[in-house]
Every structure is written in structure tokens, then in C-alpha cells.
Amino acid sequence: MLISTGAWTRRNLPVILSTLSLLLGWEIVCRAFGIRPFLLPTPSAIWTAVVPVWPNIAMHTAVTLRTVMLGLLASIVVSLPLAMLIASSRTVSAAIYPMLVLTQSVPKVALAPILLVALGANEFSRVIITFLVAFFPLVVSSVAGLLATPPELVELGRTCRATRVQELLRIRLPYALPFVFGGLRVAAALCVVGAVVAEFVGADSGLGYLIQTSMAFFRTPVAFGAVVILAIMGIALFQLVEITERLIVPWSSNLDNNFNEEK
Amino acid sequence: MISLARVGKTFKTRRGGHVQALDDVTISVGADEFVAIVGASGCGKSTLLRMVAGLVQPDIGHLTLDGKVVTQATEGTAMVFQAPTLLPWMNVERNVTFPLSLSGRDVPEARERGRALLRAAGLAGFEQRMPRELSGGMQQRVAICRGLVQKPRILLMDEPFGALDALTREEMSLALLELWQANPMAVIFVTHSISEAVLLADRVIVMSPRPGRVAEIVEVDLPRPRSFDQEASAEFHRCSKLIRDRIYGGGSRAH
């Protein structure tokens, strides 16, 4: 995984250039059309607004990050066993899947205020909301992976007299891991959404809370700063999932191209 | 040791029809016997093998191993599939000992036995490689080692060399014979290559398709150890012709 700086620059140059030109275009448009800062602040105005209150923003970021990570953890802890249960028995699948779809057809944003009243305006209920927003794609892709295991591998297990638990843990689960990570990427992004929704509804800290209170006083640049930090958080989580996947699932075909490149 | 008495099997197709895969099959295989099964595709030879492996149950008739009715995979029976079916997340050595690890027999001696088998299969130095780094022939050799490491009394092979090129096939056939002579066991070897069947087996069971029936049982009276030189012998030709005639229904249309 050692990449020379030259290669790194070459690979990331397009995204660096596109980001820079986006910021530049934004700045120019705002100045040229005289857009008022409380409607759309320029990137430089956001920067000057955020820097002086940096410790405060860092605190809010830490709070949100904590909710996001706990929500992601809860999603993993619940989704994997649930997926295994669904994949291992048709009866369980028939009983649980409709309920899962039901939880997904209810808009979680609408549920958030109700849950906060029921569970109290504390971190626990924010983690629950985050979890509810994020866990579904993880379950779905894990089940898909467990069921996508080639029948030959399952038969190999049978001829080796593997028990059903062994078949699940030693053959199906490792095979499903690339699928699990696919779901995990989506879940990581959704966790950020879930945490912010929960903070909008009931919180006294966090980036979602910061956005709401800033806008109440028309401090738009600070709100924008919080949005940018949320975006960075989402990207970082996505990268974290990808790096973990490389470490845990080095055989995954998703990573084949990179593997050959570095060989 | 392995005994099938008037075994039949019918599968339901998705459209609600029925396909009779096996009909009235009676075969017995001795303890150290090498039996090959040949036949056109659709003659139920794979079904027969999977039945002995305990993967499918007969509808009628009896299938027994040492007098016991087979209802699931039996200890001492190993199967080698047409495809290598290696686990992509394990290196070669761990793939070989995978069956042992399932039953807690993954002890140091077993691992040493696995390494010895890999050496015998010409895979010394590849123990730590991942399956996808190996060629198809090498992967299949790993799969055969995985079968043998269990010290099976019955080895079931379902067209194990089917996906290999002709040269690798011949090389693997001889390697298999050597391994079998060092560790005698009952082998049922499904193939659609007539010469491969004659070269390897003590007896060749010829099956006819739709429904799968035993058309002929050919005793191969060639001395062991076998080699490709014997392909020129009169006995080799006699057996091959007999088998070919049976498969194509008597007439000598080709050749």
C-alpha cells in the first residue's frame, strides 16, 4: 500500500482541481451578483466565521461524531445477526422481512420527534434514530451476500459434514463479507443523516443543533461551516470503511484492480 | 463396501415435469477398488456420485456403505468436484485442511500431512499462496489434496480433470494413480473420457442416458502400475471399443 507522492498526486489531481474550481466559482458568483451573506455566504466568509469559534465547533463535531459512530456500531451489531437469521431460515425470513420493510416505509424523520418524546431527549434516543435510518441497507446487502454463496461451496461444506452453524459462519459469512462492506458504505453515509435529523429534533449540542441555532440568528456562515464539516465526516467514514475492507477482505474482487496495479 | 441395489431417482423440473435421473441401478464397489463411471451427459452419473456422498437421497432402492443406509455425508467419504471450489479467503494450506478444521481435527500432524500431500502434488512452495494466484490445474490439485487429507476410505471424484487441458489431465491422472497406490481406498471416478476411464480403473461402469441405467460393466485387465504406454495394448483397445459401442448404442458410426 505504499504509494509514491507522485502517484498520489496523479490519482487525486482531478478531484483537487474540481473542488478548487467549485470553491472559486462559488466565491466569484457570490461577489459578482452581490448575494447577501445570510442567504449564501462566500467560502471565504465561511472560513472567517468558523475560525474564531473553532473550539466550539470542534466540540459540536465530537458530539455528532460520537452519535454517528454509536449508531453505526448499533447497525452492525443488529444487522449481521439479523441477516444471518433471515438467510438461514425461510420461515424466519417470511416473518421478519415484512416488518423490516415496514420500518423502512415509515419516514424516520417523522418518527424522530415521537421517539424523542417517548425515549427522552438524550443521546440514547439520538443513537436509536441514527440506527433506524442506517441499518436497513446493511441488512439487505448482508442477506444478499449470504444467499449469493455459490452452491458448490455449500455442497463442499455438506460433504465435509459441516453443521448448519459452521456452514453459516465458516462458509457463507466470509463469502458475504464484500457484500456486507457494500452495505456498510451506504450505512455510514446514512448514519450522518440520521444523527443530524435527531439533533434537529432534540439536542443541546452537535452539528445539527449548531446549524439550527445559527440559522435562528441568521449566522448563515457558521451553519454552512457545519454543513461542510458534516460532508467531510461522511467522506472520512466512507474511506474508513474502504480501508477496513482492504484489511479484512483482501480477496474481494472489488479490490482486484488495485491489487494488480500494485503488484 | 459401497452397495447400490435397484436405486432410482426422479427430479422435478421447474415447469412441473419429471426427469428420471437414475433407474434400477445396481452397483457394488469394493474396499480398495478403483471404479470409473462413463456415459453421455444426462446419464445420471453425477447424481449417482452425489448420492454416495449423501447430498441426494434415492427415491427407491437401497444405498448402503458397509451395510449402513446413507442419509447424509458419511465420515471417511471425501468428494472432489469438477471445479476446484476452493475458499477464496484462505491460503492453499488452510484450504487443504479446511475439512479437518470443521471437525476439530486440524492438529499439527494433520497439517503436516496436508503439506506432504501438497509436495506430492507438486505444490511445494505454494502453501501460503491464495487460490486466485494459482492456475486452474494447480487449484484442482489443491482440491484433490483437500480430499485426500481426510484419509478417506471412499474418494468420490466428479469429472475432477474436466476443466483441465489435455496435458495437465494426463499428468494428473498418473499422479492420482500413484497417490491411490500409496494409500489404497475405494474410488468412484466420474468422467466422460473413455481413455481416462480405462487407464485409471479396475472396472468401468458404462451408463446410458434418460433414464440413467447401467448399460455395461467392463473389467479392465491391465497390469498396474499403469502408464500411457498401455494405450497401445490390445486390452486397452478391447475395453475402449466395448465402452464406445455401449455409449453409442452398438453401431460403430464414428471411426
Q: Is A174 on the interface with B (CB under 8 A)?
A: yes
Separation of CA B44 from chain center: 14
Q: How far A152 CA sits from the closest chain B CA (Å)?
A: 6
pLDDT (0 to 100) of residue B153: 92
Which of B83, B88, B102 lies closest to A160 in CB terms?
B102
Q: Evaluate if residue B165 carries a pLDDT over 90.
A: no
Q: Which cell goes with A73? A: 456500531
Confidence of residue A2 (pLDDT cuts 50, 70, 90): low
Q: Which cell goes with A107? A: 419516514
Q: Is A157 on the interface with B (CB under 8 A)?
A: yes
pLDDT (0 to 100) of residue B15: 83
**Mean pLDDT confidence for B92-100:** 94
Q: Is B79 on the interface with A (CB under 8 A)?
A: yes
Express each pLDDT in B107-138 by its tens digit.
888 899 899 989 888 888 999 999 999 988 89
Q: Are β-strands B213-219 and B203-208 bridged in parallel, bridged antiparallel, or unpaired? A: antiparallel
- Are the CB atoms for A202 and A236 separated by under 8 Å? no
**Mean pLDDT confidence for A22-46:** 91
Confidence of residue B19 (pLDDT cuts 50, 70, 90): confident
pLDDT (0 to 100) of residue B255: 42
CATH number of A59-249: 1.10.3720.10
Residues β-bridged to residue B155:
B78, B187
Q: Is B67 on the interface with A (CB under 8 A)?
A: no
pLDDT (0 to 100) of residue A4: 65
d(CA A254, CA A248) in angstroms, rounded, equals 13
pLDDT (0 to 100) of residue A146: 94
d(CA B58, CA A77) in angstroms, rounded, equals 42
d(CA B189, CA B167) in angstroms, rounded, equals 19
Chain A partners within 8 Å of B55 (Cβ):
155, 158-159
Domain boundaries, chain A: 59-249
Element spanning A164, H or E: helix A164-166
Express each pLDDT in A78-89 by its tens digit.
999 999 999 988
- Calculate the average pLDDT of chain B: 89
d(CA B70, CA B206) in angstroms, rounded, equals 23
**Mean pLDDT confidence for B4-19:** 87
Confidence of residue A262 (pLDDT cuts 50, 70, 90): very low
Domain boundaries, chain B: 23-76+154-161+168-255, 84-151
Cβ count within 10 A of residue B220: 22
CB contact under 8 A, A156 and B81: yes
For A169-199, b/e burial (b = at least 16 CB within 10 A) is ebbbbbbbbbbbbbbbbbbbbbbbbbbbbbb
Please give the single-letter amino acid code of residue A103: T
CATH number of B23-76+154-161+168-255: 3.40.50.300
Q: Evaluate if residue A77 carries a pLDDT over 90.
A: yes
pLDDT (0 to 100) of residue B168: 82
Q: Are β-strands B154-158 and B186-191 bridged in parallel, bridged antiparallel, or unpaired? A: parallel
pLDDT (0 to 100) of residue A3: 56
Chain B partners within 8 Å of A175 (Cβ):
88-89
Q: Is B75 on the interface with A (CB under 8 A)?
A: yes
**Mean pLDDT confidence for A217-233:** 93
d(CA A79, CA A74) in angstroms, rounded, equals 8
DSSP letter at A218?
T
Q: Which residues contact A252 (CB under 8 A, 6 or more apart)?
A: A177, A178, A181, A245
Give the CA angle between residues B191, A157, B196 to the nearest 5°: 10
The 3-class SS string of chain B reads CEEEEEEEEEEECCCCCEEEEEEEEEEEECCCCEEEEEECCCCCHHHHHHHHCCCCCCCEEEEEECCEECCCCCCCEEEECCCCCCCCCCCHHHHHCHHHHHCCCCCHHHHHHHHHHHHHCCCCCCCCCCHHHCCHHHHHHHHHHHHHCCCCCEEEEECCCCCCCHHHHHHHHHHHHHHHHHCCCEEEEEECCHHHHHHHCCEEEEEECCCEEEEEEEECCCCCCCCHHHHHCHHHHHHHHHHHHHHCCCCCCCC
Q: Evaluate if residue A250 carries a pLDDT over 70.
A: yes
Return the residue matching grid coordinates 502517484: A7
CB contact under 8 A, A251 and B89: yes
Best of A154, A159, A163, A168 to mutate (most B CBs within 10 Å, chain B): A159
Q: Is B89 on the interface with A (CB under 8 A)?
A: yes
Q: Evaluate if residue B251 carries a pLDDT over 60.
A: no
- Calculate the average pLDDT of chain A: 89
Q: Is B76 on the interface with A (CB under 8 A)?
A: no
pLDDT (0 to 100) of residue A260: 40
Q: Is A263 on the interface with B (CB under 8 A)?
A: no
Give the CA angle between residues B97, B35, B148 to the nearest 5°: 10
**Mean pLDDT confidence for B60-82:** 89
- Are the CB atoms for B157 and B187 separated by under 8 Å? yes
d(CA A134, CA A194) in angstroms, rounded, equals 7
Confidence of residue A169 (pLDDT cuts 50, 70, 90): very high
Q: How far B82 CA sits from the closest chain A CA (Å)?
A: 10
CB contact under 8 A, A155 and B99: no
The complex scores an ipTM of 0.85
Q: Is B31 on the interface with A (CB under 8 A)?
A: no
Which of B73, B89, B103 lies closest to A159 in CB terms?
B73
CB contact under 8 A, B98 and A150: no
Express each pLDDT in B179-192 by its tens digit.
898 888 999 999 98
Q: Max Cα separation, chain A?
A: 75
Express each pLDDT in B133-147 by its tens digit.
998 889 998 999 999
- Are the CB atoms for B200 and B34 separated by under 8 Å? yes
d(CA B111, CA B108) in angstroms, rounded, equals 5
Express each pLDDT in A230-242 by its tens digit.
999 999 999 999 9
Pairs of residues, one from chain A and one from chain B, whose beta carbons lie less than 8 Å apart: 50
Chain B partners within 8 Å of A166 (Cβ):
102
